Amino acid sequence: MAGSNAEDVDTYLAEVQEPDRLTALVRIRELCRTELAGYEEVMAWGMPCYRRKDGEPEIAFANQKQYVSFYLMRPDIREGFEDRLAGQDIGKGCLRFRRTERVDYDLVRDLLRATAAAPGEAC
């Protein structure tokens, strides 16, 4: 479902066909909405994103063909969590969860809290 044309996150989530992925994405969304107080929820690049008012997206998530992805677009936060991210399937800016039962919601929450704690430059 990469590159959705959905205009809002509710529509994006309604497109998800796999119940286990939908559950994971809804939970990630709930964490974003709870931990990113003051952020705007928008659709950008075909996926749900979170940005400070009038800023660039700093967080996003997506339902990809083979996995659920969580995008952390702040290099400063990634660097601060190097130890905890070491055992994860991670690309330049995203965590990939190929099996939804392996989504580390505690790690996601902590990354969100660190992102919200202070502004930084998104890549």
Handedness of CA 78, 82, 85, 86 (dihedral sign): positive
The residue behind tokens 């965590």 is: 95
| Interval 33-61: pLDDT, tens | 999 999 999 999 999 999 998 889 999 99
| Interval 71-101: pLDDT, tens | 999 999 999 999 999 989 988 889 999 999 9
Give residue 42's pLDDT. 95
- State the CATH architecture for 9-115: Alpha-Beta Complex (3.90)
Give residue limits of the domains in the chain. 9-115
Two structure tokens written together for 20: 């286990």
Give residue 1's pLDDT. 46
Give the global pTM.
0.92
User: Is the distance from CB of 78 to CB of 88 less than 8 angstroms?
Assistant: no
